[in-house]
């Protein structure tokens, strides 16, 4: 099963400010007893030295003064960034806070953010769930790179694939070289037949790498493979057990790195991608992209200027493209800056429809795959459906050079101010 596609995995900065007076208390909710375990598990992955999150949250002196801002962020569910609606499906590695955790932080902040007594047995550790079981290969950017464009620089770099035989990537993780500026990383696969094309794209632009946005450009914007993606706080993970993405000898990896200069310390980046490699897998996997062909090829996804709620939806049976039933393990969605909500679901032939991913409050800055708690199988007669909503009202326009632009008619496109309605699934043969 060979399907080449892409998915977009993007994230952003979070700044916590404000101050809160606190007085240590010997009873009730305290930082050490109640809040620190929640923060260590769900926040410190981004908000610590060496990571991209602004406002470190590793000590009481860093957390306590920001209690009011932290309360506001968690009550509104802006933080931690987890956009999937839990009523749609259950997911592995869910980093959203429970209602109990949110209530704990809110009550602690309202009480004046008491520190309490340090607990000797409470150790500093990364409690995020999920990990990659081993690292067999590390790929690095070919050069030290400093962003050329500000505030956002989307740069693609060609990296050699060193394996001489067919192999399978079964785990993926990213170690940003300079976390103060690396905003997200996406790894695309350039199969041997496309390598020369991308070498020419690279050579056509001065400096290391080449400018890219959304995808890697060239022929893979339509049929390219996606290997994996990273956003701040995202841990390295094994792919679902017994599955992996096939890599052909002579391929290249295209690393798309999104650099953001808001908190850049001025030092260059040399990001590393860690991979788990196996010689064989029980089920070959692919990241398969899903959208309406008329949107992507005929640019027939109109979003009229001034319209505050434009809906586009598309559904089809995907099993013919896989040669039969297909198991879906991971799901993701992609729109640009006018997107407001998006859904990926299955319209079952037996009418027992199933929601895969619902993002009711779209945020362009937080895009990544969600792994289903249990894979689901699509059979002949079922339809995969994607639905996207867009707001192209005058109030929802970008600000350029300090001026809010006037709304214009939009359609499908790669640019920042174009739009997309794109889904992607990590799929295998049925279990």
- Identify the pLDDT of residue 97: 87
Does residue 312 carry a pLDDT above 90?
A: yes
Per-residue pLDDT tens for 327-339?
999 998 988 889 9
Per-residue pLDDT tens for 377-389?
999 999 999 999 9
Does residue 129 carry a pLDDT above 50?
A: no
CA–centroid distance for 86 within its chain: 17
Confidence of residue 50 (pLDDT cuts 50, 70, 90): low
Does residue 283 carry a pLDDT above 90?
A: yes
- Identify the pLDDT of residue 323: 93
Confidence of residue 2 (pLDDT cuts 50, 70, 90): very low
Please answer whether residues 390 and 303 qualify as being in contact, where contact means their C-beta atoms are separated by less than 8 angstroms. yes
Sign of the dihedral through C-alpha 235, 238, 240, 243: positive
Per-residue pLDDT tens for 140-168?
999 999 998 887 888 999 999 999 999 99
Does residue 65 carry a pLDDT above 70?
A: yes
- Looking up tokens 């429970």 gives 98
Q: What is the residue-averaged pLDDT of the chain?
A: 86
Mean of pLDDT values over 405-410: 94
Per-residue pLDDT tens for 232-278?
666 788 999 999 999 999 999 999 998 877 778 899 999 999 999 99
Share of the chain above pLDDT 90, in %: 60
Fold: same for 137-281 and 286-428: yes
pTM assigned to the model = 0.77
Please answer whether residues 185 and 230 qualify as being in contact, where contact means their C-beta atoms are separated by less than 8 angstroms. yes
Residue spans of alpha helices (H) in 8-165: 36-42, 60-63, 67-75, 99-110
Structure tokens at 271: 């990001």
- Identify the pLDDT of residue 52: 60
CA–centroid distance for 84 within its chain: 12
- Identify the pLDDT of residue 23: 40
Does residue 19 carry a pLDDT above 90?
A: no
Does residue 126 carry a pLDDT above 50?
A: no
- 286-428: what fold? Jelly Rolls (2.60.120)
Confidence of residue 344 (pLDDT cuts 50, 70, 90): very high
- 137-281: what fold? Jelly Rolls (2.60.120)
How many whole angstroms separate alpha carbon 208 and alpha carbon 155?
A: 9
Per-residue pLDDT tens for 100-124?
999 999 999 999 999 988 864 344 4
Most confident of 179-183, 205-209, 367-371: 205-209
Mean of pLDDT values over 175-196: 90
- Per the model's pLDDT, the better-predicted residue between 309 and 288 turns out to be 309
Delimit the domains of the chain by residue range: 9-128, 137-281, 286-428
Q: In a 3-state reduction of DSSP, which class is residue 154?
A: strand
Mean of pLDDT values over 30-35: 92
Distances (CA, A) of 52 to 48, 180, 259, 400: 8, 5, 11, 25
- Concatenate the DSSP letters of all residues of 161-187 into one string: ---SS-EEEEEEEEE-S-TTTEEEEEE
- Identify the pLDDT of residue 270: 96
- Looking up tokens 């995020």 gives 128
Which of 16-30, 109-123, 144-158, 413-427 is predicted least confidently?
Answer: 16-30
Per-residue pLDDT tens for 196-236?
999 999 999 999 999 997 678 887 654 558 898 887 666 78
Q: Which of 231, 246, 179 lies closest to 370 in space, CA to CA?
A: 231
How many whole angstroms separate alpha carbon 122 and alpha carbon 387?
A: 45
């Amino acid at each position: 099963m060979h399907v080449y596609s892409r998915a977009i995995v993007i994230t952003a900065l979070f700044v916590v400010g404000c101050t809160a007076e606190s007085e240590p208390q010997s009873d009730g909710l305290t930082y050490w007893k109640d809040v620190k375990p929640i923060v260590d598990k769900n926040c410190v992955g981004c908000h610590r030295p060496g990571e991209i999150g602004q406002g470190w949250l590793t000590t009481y002196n860093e957390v306590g003064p920001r209690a009011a801002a932290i309360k506001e962020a968690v009550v509104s569910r802006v933080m931690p960034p987890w956009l999937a609606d839990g009523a749609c499906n259950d997911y592995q590695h869910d980093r959203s806070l429970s209602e109990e955790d949110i209530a704990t932080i809110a009550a602690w902040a309202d009480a004046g953010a008491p520190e309490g007594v340090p607990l000797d047995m409470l150790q500093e550790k990364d409690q995020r769930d999920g990990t990659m079981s081993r690292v067999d290969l590390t790929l690095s950017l070919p050069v030290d790179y400093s962003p050329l464009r500000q505030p956002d620089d989307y740069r693609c770099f060609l990296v050699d694939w060193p394996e001489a035989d067919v192999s399978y990537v079964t785990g993926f993780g990213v170690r940003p070289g300079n976390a103060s500026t690396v905003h997200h990383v996406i790894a695309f696969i350039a199969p041997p037949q496309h390598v020369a094309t991308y070498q020419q794209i690279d050579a056509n632009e001065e400096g290391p790498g080449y400018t890219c946005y959304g995808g890697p450009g060239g022929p893979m914007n339509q049929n390219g493979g996606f290997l994996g993606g990273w956003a701040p706080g995202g841990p390295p993970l094994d792919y679902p057990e017994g599955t992996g993405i096939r890599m052909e000898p002579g391929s290249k990896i295209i690393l798309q790195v999104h650099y953001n200069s808001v908190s850049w310390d001025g030092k260059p980046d040399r990001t590393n991608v860690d991979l788990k490699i196996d010689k064989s897998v029980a089920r070959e996997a692919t990241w398969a992209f899903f959208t309406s062909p008329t949107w992507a090829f005929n640019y027939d996804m109109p979003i009229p200027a001034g319209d505050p709620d434009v809906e586009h939806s598309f559904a089809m049976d995907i099993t013919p493209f896989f040669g039969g039933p297909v198991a879906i393990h991971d799901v993701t969605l992609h729109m640009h800056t006018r997107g407001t909500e998006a859904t990926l679901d299955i319209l079952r032939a037996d009418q027992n429809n199933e929601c895969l991913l619902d993002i009711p409050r779209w945020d362009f800055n937080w895009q990544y795959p969600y792994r289903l708690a249990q894979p689901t199988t699509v059979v002949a007669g079922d339809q995969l459906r994607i639905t996207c909503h867009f707001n192209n009202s005058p109030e929802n326009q970008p600000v350029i050079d300090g001026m809010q632009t006037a709304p214009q008619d939009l359609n499908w496109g790669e640019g920042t101010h174009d739009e997309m309605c794109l889904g992607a699934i990590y799929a295998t043969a049925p279990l």
